[in-house]
Amino acid sequence: MSLLAADKIIISLVIVLIALTLRIFSKKIIKNRFKELTGHENIIHMMSLVVLICVCGAILYLWDVISLFVSLVTTVGIVGVIFGFTIKDIWLSDAFAGIALTLDHSLNVGDQVEIMEKKGTVSRIALTTTRVTTEDGYILIVPNRKLKEEIIAIK
């Protein structure tokens, strides 16, 4: 059974409306859940990108255009895997550690900590880094994965 062009347009519009609705609700949920984590906008943008890719894929499949893009998608997929492995240690582990710090409330802004033989106060917890202001006024920018991997003293 072949769909008419008008049917495909209507289905495409429904897919886009569903995607926009999902984006709005997921944005509200993420903002409420991660409001104390600065950088939660990055999670929203990443989720929006995933939804956009899924919507584009669904529409391309609906219009039977996807067969033309198989080689392009394969190439982009391989580049994406290589890029993912490249940023895994640099950004992703810090981002997941930042989310974990926020969810388990093991560290909060204002806590007195001792890390790397320095004492200070947590002044900001972002998605990938945490800022600690030392007693002598210096600011330590600590990757969040270090806070999850190492033993830190919290007062």
Percent of the chain with pLDDT over 90: 8
Binned at pLDDT 50, 70 and 90, residue 66 comes out as: low
Round to whole Å and give the CA distance between 93 and 23.
Answer: 25
Q: Which of 53-57, 86-90, 98-102, 118-122 has the highest mean pLDDT?
A: 118-122
**CA 111, 116, 120 angle in degrees (round to 5)?**
30
Higher pLDDT, 47 or 40: 47
Round to whole Å and give the CA distance between 23 and 107.
Answer: 30
pTM of the model: 0.51
pLDDT of residue 13: 84
Backbone angles phi, psi at 127, to 5 degrees: -65, -40
Percent of the chain with pLDDT over 70: 86
Higher pLDDT, 142 or 93: 142
If you compute the radius of gyration of the chain from its CA atoms, what whole number of angstroms results? 22
Round to whole Å and give the CA distance between 54 and 18.
Answer: 11
